[in-house]
Amino acid sequence: MSTSITIDDIYKLFQKSQEELDSRFAEIEKRLSKMEATCVGVINSKYFDDLTNKRDNFFEDILVPSLYDLFADRGMNIQQTAQSLSSHRMRN
């Protein structure tokens, strides 16, 4: 014995699916909000500042002098370097 499916049955199925989807998206939004708050807290923390400063110091103190030797070994003579260079041109 087969049962016939009506348009109302299909509509109810879509409606139920949409409710489940809305519920899942709401849960995802909650989780993302918590993660965002945590990330903002870490980024604004002194720990993050210390970490970036250590990384910057590492590059400045260890890697940059090694690069001069690396380029010199390849026959490239470095005449001048600049750190944190920025430029702004005024429009006429």
User: To the nearest whole percent, how much of the chain has pLDDT over 90?
Assistant: 4
**Residue 8 CB: number of other CB atoms within 10 A?**
8
Whether residues 33 and 52 fall in one domain: no
Q: Cα(12)–Cα(69) distance, rounded to whole angstroms?
A: 72
Mean pLDDT, rounded, for 2-8 = 84
Q: Which domain holds residue 67?
A: 45-74
- Using one digit for the tens of pLDDT, what is the confidence trace for 44-87? 666 666 666 766 777 777 777 788 888 888 888 888 877 777 77
Whether residues 50 and 63 fall in one domain: yes
Least confident of 19-28, 34-43, 71-80: 34-43
Domain count along the chain: 2
The predicted structure's pLDDT at residue 45: 64
Q: Cα(52)–Cα(76) distance, rounded to whole angstroms?
A: 30
In a domain, 82, yes or no: no
